[in-house]
């Protein structure tokens, strides 16, 4: 098990930064760190993602695990790894990306939905998978696929909020990926970083209490 997967299982929450403006990014990262969330992914479809990843590694690398999200193909994987990404998360399964991750020692957690895709990703060498889109699939789906596939660590992304986060863990997720419910871009734009910290703290408490 990679150190990053161990950390994922321990910390249980990955913050997803999608579409954040570069000038607000550092303030948002610092607000989440202050609230106790230290695993962060910047999606590759965010403008300037590679630059943000390498800057965050310089600034927060001692405290945070910085990864790239929405890594769709090998080209994006190479760009993310060159920027210093410590893990790669995708909405899809591309075996070439998993292979590249194994070669470079960067964990890849690909996006999968069906039992067939989950096992394919596992056999390709992914040490964990991202079940997506959980918001549409629902918790019952997670419970059902966990029964026969309980050996494969699953990160659940989509539909997580304060009211149901505990249910995700009870259903068998080892961690959750959280976007706008955590990284609220309205708050970011209006400089309300205190609200981000408070929200992060609540999610961390809810995740730890499971």
pLDDT in tens, 31-80: 999 999 999 999 999 999 999 999 999 999 999 999 999 999 999 999 99
Looking at residue 151, its pLDDT comes to 97
The number of folded domains in the chain is 1
Integer Cα distance of 89 and 155 in angstroms: 10
Query: How high does pLDDT run on average in the chain?
Result: 97
User: Torsion angle of alpha carbons 197, 111, 134, 51, nearest 10°?
Assistant: 20
Looking at residue 77, its pLDDT comes to 98
Integer Cα distance of 201 and 166 in angstroms: 15
- DSSP E strands in 1-77: the ranges are 13-17, 39-43, 65-69
pLDDT in tens, 85-99: 999 999 999 999 999
Integer Cα distance of 103 and 131 in angstroms: 24
| Residue 175: pLDDT over 90 | yes
Mean predicted confidence (pLDDT) in 140-162: 97
pLDDT class of 1 with cuts at 50, 70, 90 = confident
SS percent in the chain: helix, strand, coil, step 5: 50, 15, 35
Active site residues: 41, 130
Q: Are 56 and 64 in contact (CB under 8 A)?
A: yes
Integer Cα distance of 124 and 96 in angstroms: 9
Of 111, 115, 143, give the one whose Cα is nearest residue 130. Answer: 111
- DSSP E strands in the chain: the ranges are 13-17, 39-43, 65-69, 88-89, 108-109, 111-112, 129-131, 154-157, 175-178
Of 119, 96, 117, 38, give the one whose Cα is nearest residue 108. Answer: 96
Looking at residue 43, its pLDDT comes to 98
Looking at residue 204, its pLDDT comes to 97
Q: Domain containing 34 — which CATH number?
A: 3.20.20.70
Place of tokens 């929405």: 70
Looking at residue 210, its pLDDT comes to 87
For residue 92, give the DSSP letter.
Answer: S
Would you tell me how many other CB atoms lie within 10 Å of the CB of residue 122? 19
Range of the domain at 199: 3-208
Integer Cα distance of 106 and 109 in angstroms: 10
């Amino acid at each position: 098990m990679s150190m990053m997967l161990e950390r994922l299982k321990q910390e249980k929450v990955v913050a997803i930064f999608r579409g954040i403006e570069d000038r607000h990014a550092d303030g948002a990262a610092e607000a989440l760190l202050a609230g106790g969330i230290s695993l962060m992914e910047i999606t590759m479809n965010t403008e300037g993602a590679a630059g943000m990843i390498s800057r965050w590694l310089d600034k927060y690398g001692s405290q945070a695990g910085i990864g790239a999200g929405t890594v769709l193909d090998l080209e994006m994987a190479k760009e993310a790894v060159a920027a210093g990404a410590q893990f790669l998360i995708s909405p899809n399964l591309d075996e070439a990306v998993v292979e590249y991750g194994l070669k470079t020692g960067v964990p890849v957690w690909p996006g999968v939905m069906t039992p067939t895709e989950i096992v394919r990703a596992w056999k390709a060498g992914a040490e964990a998978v991202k079940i997506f889109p959980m918001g549409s699939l629902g918790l019952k789906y997670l419970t059902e696929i966990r029964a026969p596939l309980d050996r494969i660590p699953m990160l659940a992304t989509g539909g997580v909020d304060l009211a149901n986060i505990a249910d995700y863990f009870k259903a068998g997720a080892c961690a959750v990926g959280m976007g706008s419910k955590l990284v609220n871009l309205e708050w970011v734009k209006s400089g309300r970083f205190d609200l981000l910290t408070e929200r992060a703290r609540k999610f961390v408490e809810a995740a730890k209490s499971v």
